[in-house]
Amino acid sequence: MIRKDIRDCKERNDKVIILWTANTEMFLLPEIGTMDDLETRIQTNIPLPASVLYCIAAIQEGVTYLNGSPQNTFHPAIVKMAEKHGALLAGSDFKSGQTRFKTVMSDFLIGSGLRISSVVSYNHLGNNDGKNLSEDKTFRSKQISKAGVLDDAMAGNQILYPKGNDKIDHEVVIKYVPFVGDSKRALDEYSSQIFLNGTNTISSYNICEDSLLAVPLMYDMIVLGELFTRMQIDGEKLGPILSYLSFFFKAPITNHQEYVINSFSRQRETLVNFLKVAAGILPDDTTLLDFKF
C-alpha cells in the first residue's frame, strides 16, 4: 500500500523525496540480521516500526528517504538494501536548536585547548514531541542521537582526550510541560578543565521555537537532496548514504563509519566546498598562501 502511494505520487510529480518527520519511535534493538530477514518479516506480517516500512518502500521505489527522527531506522540491513536498489538515504534526527549550538560550543572550547569534562543539557517543551518523549522507550532514541554530537570534536584532539581518558559526563534531560507549547526551553552547562586544574563553566539558556527552526532545514535538505540525486563523480552516483547532508542531522550516518563528522564548522566547510567543486569553483583555501601570508 505504501509503495502504491509512492507510485501514485510519482505519476503526478517530476521527482519524489520522502522526508520522515513523524514522532520519535522506540529504539529498535538490532534483532534484524539481513535483508532476507527484513523481507521475511514483511511477507509474514511481523510488526516493524513505521519508519522502517516507509524507508523500505522508498528504497524499493527508488525514492530518496531523509530521516528527520532519532530512532535507528537505518539498520545495516536497510543500508545494504538501499545499495542493492541504488536508492539514497540521509539522516538521522534534525539538528536545529540546542544540539546544533552544542556542536558550535564543542568546536569553540576544544579548539581553544579547553578540555570539556561535563556537559549537562536540560529541556522542557509542551508540544506533541515533548509528550511523546515523556515515554522512556522513545526518550531512549533521542538520548542516543543527542549523545554522539561531542564525539567528533573530542576525537579530533588526542592531547586533551588521550586513549583511555576520552570519556566525559554528558547528560540529557527532557521534560514535558504542556503550557510552553512549541517554545522549547533549553538549558546547557559546559564545564571545562583549565590551567592548574581550574574549572571554567559556561551556562546557556535558549528559548527555541522548535518547529520554526526545523522547517527551513527541511527545505534545505530537500533541495540539496534532490540536487545530489542528479550528481555523479567519475560516473558513480553518490550514495547509498548522502553523507554531505550530515550538516542537518544530530546523528549523521555515512558510507564509511571512519569519517563520520559531527562538528558544526567541519560539516559546513565540507558541504560548502563540495558544492563549490560541483560548480567549478575552487574550494576555500584557508592557508593564506595566495595572500603571501
- Give me the pLDDT at residue 31, please: 67
- Give me the pLDDT at residue 67, please: 94
292 located within any domain = no
Active site residue: 93, 152, 188, 210, which one?
93
Active site residue: 95, 102, 129, 142, which one?
142
φ, ψ of residue 199 in degrees (nearest 5): -125, 135
- Domain termination residue (choose one: 159, 189, 209): 209
273 located within any domain = yes
* 204 and 250 inside one domain: no
- Give me the pLDDT at residue 192, please: 96
**Measured distance CA(185)–CA(202) in Å, rounded:** 17
Domain total in the chain: 2
Whole-model pTM: value is 0.88
Q: Taking the chain (293 residues) in consecutive chunks of 10 residues, what is each chunk's mean pLDDT? A: 95 95 78 79 87 94 93 87 93 87 91 94 88 80 77 87 92 92 93 94 92 91 95 92 92 82 86 94 84 74
- Domain termination residue (choose one: 173, 194, 209): 209
- Give me the pLDDT at residue 134, please: 81
Q: Residue 167 belongs to what domain range?
A: 98-209
- Give me the pLDDT at residue 76, please: 86
Give the CATH number of the domain where residue 178 resides: 3.30.360.10
Annotation says 129 is catalytic: no
* 184 and 202 inside one domain: yes
The number of residues in the chain equals: 293
71 located within any domain = yes
For residues 173 and 94, the answer to whether their CB atoms sit within 8 Å is no
284 located within any domain = no
* 169 and 219 inside one domain: no
Annotation says 142 is catalytic: yes
- Give me the pLDDT at residue 215, please: 92
Annotation says 8 is catalytic: no
Annotation says 250 is catalytic: yes
